[in-house]
Amino acid sequence: MSVALSVAAPAEIDPRRHFRNVLGHLPTGVAVVTANGPDGPVGMAVNSITSVSLDPPLISVCVARTSSTWPRIRSAGRFCISILADHHEQTSRRFAGPDRDRFTGVPLREQAGGPVLEDAVAWLDCDVYAEFGAGDHTIVVARVLDLGSVDDGRALVFFRGSYGRFAPHDQV
């Protein structure tokens, strides 16, 4: 059985306003990606992490092609992702801001892939599996080598341009 598809010309979409605004209605988690670079720890905030595969365990992270931080993390070969807790809004802003000493005053512990935020709700220790160019971003597929979580933490969430937190219905 074949299905005929009609292909319409794509609508002109304003990426900075309309596209970003509409996709902002999808709540996302917030995380920090870190590694140990040759000059010390390096890290950046991300909100585009998703599970890709259970076997092997793979996740993806999308990073801007203009990022000056991602090449330094990639060159380390291995990195960690800290999934931020609801009290980490300022930490997220710090790691999303201009490249400077983002780690000052942030409680950390070391994993093989790099520093992990001490009070993150979860963490993943990864290495780069593949990278794919996609518009103005790079999709990084990473193999998860180790991971952990806490049972009582609440995740930081980004929704329609603002930070918030997620609490299951039975915990509200």
Per-residue pLDDT of 19-71, as tens digits, reads: 778 877 778 889 999 999 888 999 999 988 999 999 999 999 999 999 999 99
How do residues 145-159 score in pLDDT, each as one tens digit? Answer: 999 999 888 999 998
pLDDT given for residue 97 in this prediction? 84
How do residues 87-142 score in pLDDT, each as one tens digit? Answer: 999 999 999 988 678 998 899 999 999 999 999 999 999 999 999 999 999 999 99
Contact between 58 and 142 under an 8 Å Cβ cutoff? The reply is yes
| CATH architecture of residue range(s) 15-48+68-126+146-160 | Roll (2.30)
More confident residue, 91 or 169: 91
Q: Is the pLDDT of residue 14 over 80?
A: no
As a whole number of angstroms, the distance between CA 41 and CA 132 comes to 25
As a whole number of angstroms, the distance between CA 172 and CA 111 comes to 33
Give the C-alpha distances (Å, rounded to integers) separating 24 from 10, 12, 20: 21, 19, 6
